Chains A and B, each alone.
Chain A
Amino acid sequence: MERVDMAMNTLLILLQDFGLAAVPAVGFAMIFNVPRPALKYCAVAGAIGHALRFSLYKIGPLPIEWATLIAACVVSMIGIHWAQKWRAHPKVFTVAAMIPMIPGVYAFTALLALVEIERTGFTPELLKTATDNGLKAMFIVAALAVGLALPGLLFYRRRPVV
Chain B
Amino acid sequence: MNTDHGHRREEDQGAITRLCAQTGVMLLQHGAESALVESVARRLGLALGMDSVEVALMANGITVTTLYGGRDCTTVRRNVDRGINMHVVTEVQRTMLLAEEKKLDLAGVARCLDEISPLRYPRWLVSVMVGLSCAAFARLGLLARGGEADLGTFALTFVASGVAMQVRQWLAHLHFNPLVNFAAAAFVATSIAAQGVIHHWVDSPKIAMSACVLLFVPGFPLINTVSDMVKGYINMGISRGVMAVLLLLACCGGIVLAMTAWNAWTWL
* Interfacial residues, chain A to chain B (CB-CB below 8 A): 13, 16-17, 20-21, 23-24, 26-35, 38, 50, 54, 58, 87-89, 91-92, 95-96, 98-100, 102, 104-105, 107-109, 111-113, 115-116, 119, 126, 129, 141-142, 144-146, 148-149, 153, 160, 162
- Chain B: CB-nearest residue to A130: B268
**Which residues on the B side are within 8 Å of A105 (C-beta)?**
141, 210-211, 214
Interface stretch of the complex, out of B10-18, B31-39, B69-77, B174-182 = B31-39
Tell me whether A23 and B133 are in contact in the complex, defined as CB-CB below 8 angstroms, given that A33-B118, A35-B86, A111-B249 are known contacts: yes
B125 at the interface (CB under 8 A from A): yes
Tell me whether A21 and B230 are in contact in the complex, defined as CB-CB below 8 angstroms, given that A35-B87, A89-B89, A107-B217 are known contacts: no
Tell me whether A87 and B97 are in contact in the complex, defined as CB-CB below 8 angstroms, given that A17-B143, A34-B87, A144-B223 are known contacts: yes
Judge whether A27 and B130 touch: CB under 8 Å.
Answer: yes
**Which residues on the B side are within 8 Å of A108 (C-beta)?**
210, 213, 217, 248, 251-252, 255, 267
B1 at the interface (CB under 8 A from A): no
Judge whether B256 and A112 touch: CB under 8 Å.
Answer: yes
- Chain A: CB-nearest residue to B39: A160
Q: How many A-B residue pairs have CB under 8 A?
A: 163
In B197-211, which residues have CB < 8 Å from any A CB? 210-211
Tell me whether A111 and B36 are in contact in the complex, defined as CB-CB below 8 angstroms, given that A17-B140, A35-B86, A104-B217 are known contacts: no
Distance A162 CA – B94 CA, assembled complex (angstroms): 10
Secondary structure type dominating chain B contacts: helix
**Which residues on the B side are within 8 Å of A141 (C-beta)?**
222-223, 225-226
- Chain B: CB-nearest residue to A50: B140
Minimum C-beta distance from A132 to chain B (A): 12
**Which residues on the B side are within 8 Å of A111 (C-beta)?**
248-249, 252
Tell me whether A116 and B230 are in contact in the complex, defined as CB-CB below 8 angstroms, given that A20-B139, A111-B249 are known contacts: no
**Which residues on the B side are within 8 Å of A98 (C-beta)?**
219, 223
Minimum C-beta distance from B217 to chain A (A): 4
Distance A105 CA – B120 CA, assembled complex (angstroms): 28
Judge whether B225 and A145 touch: CB under 8 Å.
Answer: yes
Judge whether B86 and A92 touch: CB under 8 Å.
Answer: yes
Secondary structure type dominating chain A contacts: helix
Tell me whether A33 and B93 are in contact in the complex, defined as CB-CB below 8 angstroms, given that A108-B210, A112-B252, A146-B230 are known contacts: no
In B71-100, which residues have CB < 8 Å from any A CB? 84-90, 93-94, 97
Tell me whether A31 and B130 are in contact in the complex, defined as CB-CB below 8 angstroms, given that A111-B248, A112-B267, A146-B230 are known contacts: yes
Judge whether B256 and A24 touch: CB under 8 Å.
Answer: no
- Chain A: CB-nearest residue to B140: A20
Judge whether A145 and B129 touch: CB under 8 Å.
Answer: no
The CB with the most chain A CB atoms within 10 A, among B32, B144, B226, B252, is that of: B226
- Chain A: CB-nearest residue to B265: A116
Q: List 10 A-B contacts (CB under 8 A).
A: A17-B143, A87-B97, A95-B220, A100-B137, A102-B217, A104-B214, A107-B248, A113-B268, A129-B268, A145-B225
B231 at the interface (CB under 8 A from A): yes
B195 at the interface (CB under 8 A from A): no
**Which residues on the A side are within 8 Å of B43 (C-beta)?**
160
- Chain A: CB-nearest residue to B253: A115
- Chain B: CB-nearest residue to A13: B143
Judge whether A109 and B87 touch: CB under 8 Å.
Answer: no
Judge whether B267 and A149 touch: CB under 8 Å.
Answer: no
Sorted nearest first, the 4 A-B pairs with minimum C-beta distance are A145-B226, A27-B133, A24-B133, A104-B217
B238 at the interface (CB under 8 A from A): no
